[in-house]
Amino acid sequence: MRETLIVVGLFFLAVALRSARRTSLRKVGALTFLIATFWLGFFLSGSKLGGSIAVSCWFFLPWFELLTHIRRLRLPLNNRLQHRSVPNPAFFPNALEATAAMEAEGFEHVSDCGWKWAGMQQFFRFYWHPEERAISAICLCEQSDVAFAFISVTSQDSQGRTWRTTNFPFSLTLQCSPHIRWNYVPCERNCFHHILRNHREFLGRNKVNAELLRVPDPEDVEDSLEREMRHQVEFNLASGIIRLTGDGHFQYSKRGLIFLWGQFVKDMVRLC
């Protein structure tokens, strides 16, 4: 009975900590879940090895989704953006605040478009700033009943390298092309003014002066995103992360599933 109460008490403590507002307490709650799981495995098996195996089960949970759903996915080689109307602001988190902040910084609206990708619908609202030499975007991702939004600021230098700052909350589901440099900021940082300042600091740390940046072409924004996606697909085909299906689509290879599992575990640790 004592062992049962210890495990139940730890799980209740973990739930309470996970419901806290402070990030540090939520992370302690996630750690408490692991501790409770260890003791559950230890009490059932009578050994530390059993407890360790029980804890490791949390990190292998993504394989259920990988083997039952993602392994069967067929994704288009050439995905095209289509013009779309702006979604209802009630389902578009921070959209009004972000667009107002972009306009306050001197960014001008370019286009509204979207596409379907891996069972997810993505809507993009693009802005550009010739003096800043940057393209900004706010994106809404919708999958089933789950929706989240993120912001990005992108610049391109004279050597063809892309520099991007974003508060995108998850790890990429494909390997990143070497000519794209990412600067991730915390996902809770949804103020465009702060993200733009982080982008300027990012360029400064990498000694990318304004003179080295290209002035973006607002007419090429959508085509540029499509080209970027095609280059990323080609890079992942060459890396063995994905493979062709022979019908104009591709799917994840065994190596790709292992890569995705690593990304899921990374997110579990980072976002706990």
Confidence of residue 93 (pLDDT cuts 50, 70, 90): confident
Residue 217: which pLDDT band, with cuts at 50, 70 and 90? very high
- 226 falls within a domain: yes
Q: Are 168 and 120 in contact (CB under 8 A)?
A: no
pLDDT for 111? 93
Q: Tell me how many domains the chain contains.
A: 2
Query: What is the percentage of the chain residues whose pLDDT exceeds 90?
Result: 55
Q: 272 lies in a domain? A: no
Quick check: is 138 in a domain? yes
pLDDT reading at 254 higher than 70? yes
Q: Is residue 67 part of a domain?
A: no
Helix (H, G, I), strand (E, B) or coil at 20: coil
Three-state SS for 199-254 is HHHHHHHCCCCHHHECCCCHHHHHHHHHHHHHHHHHHHHHHCCEEECCCCEEEECH
Q: How far apart are CA 223 and CA 202, in angstroms?
A: 25
Closest by Cα among 102, 130, 135, 105 to 228: 135
Q: Please check the confidence at residue 270 and state whether its pLDDT lies above 90.
A: no
Range of the domain at 46: 2-60
Residue 248 included in any domain: no
DSSP state, 157?
B
Give the Cα separation of 99 and 87 in Å (integer): 13
Tell which residue, 140, 40, 129, has the closest CA to residue 88: 140
The span from the CA of 213 to the CA of 201, in Å, is 14
Average pLDDT over residues 37-48: 90
> Does one domain contain both 56 and 189?
no
Mean pLDDT of 219-238: 94
* Choice between 237 and 120, residue whose per-residue pLDDT is larger: 237
Q: Residue 203's pLDDT is what?
A: 96
pLDDT level of residue 85 (50, 70, 90 thresholds): confident
Between CA 95 and CA 101 the distance in angstroms is 10
- What pLDDT, on a 0 to 100 scale, did the predictor assign at position 118? 67
Q: Mean pLDDT for the chain?
A: 90
The answer for 133, left when phi > 0, alpha when psi is -120 to 50, beta otherwise, is: left
Mean pLDDT of 19-40: 86
Residue that wins the pLDDT comparison between 144 and 33: 33
Here the tokens at position 139 are 């994106």
In the prediction, which pLDDT does 272 show? 66
Cβ distance 142 to 150 under 8 Å? Answer: no
Same domain, 164 and 189: yes
For residues 34 and 169, membership in a common domain is answered with: no
Q: Tell me what pLDDT residue 142 has.
A: 86
Residues 112 and 232 in one domain: yes
Q: For 16-23, what is the mean pLDDT?
A: 82
Query: Does residue 89 sit in the same domain as residue 224?
Result: yes
Average pLDDT over residues 185-209: 91
146-174 tens-digit pLDDT? 788 999 999 999 999 999 999 998 999 99
Same domain, 51 and 138: no
**251 pLDDT more than 80:** yes
pLDDT 10s digits, 110-143: 999 998 876 788 999 999 999 999 999 999 988 7
The predicted model scores a pTM of 0.84
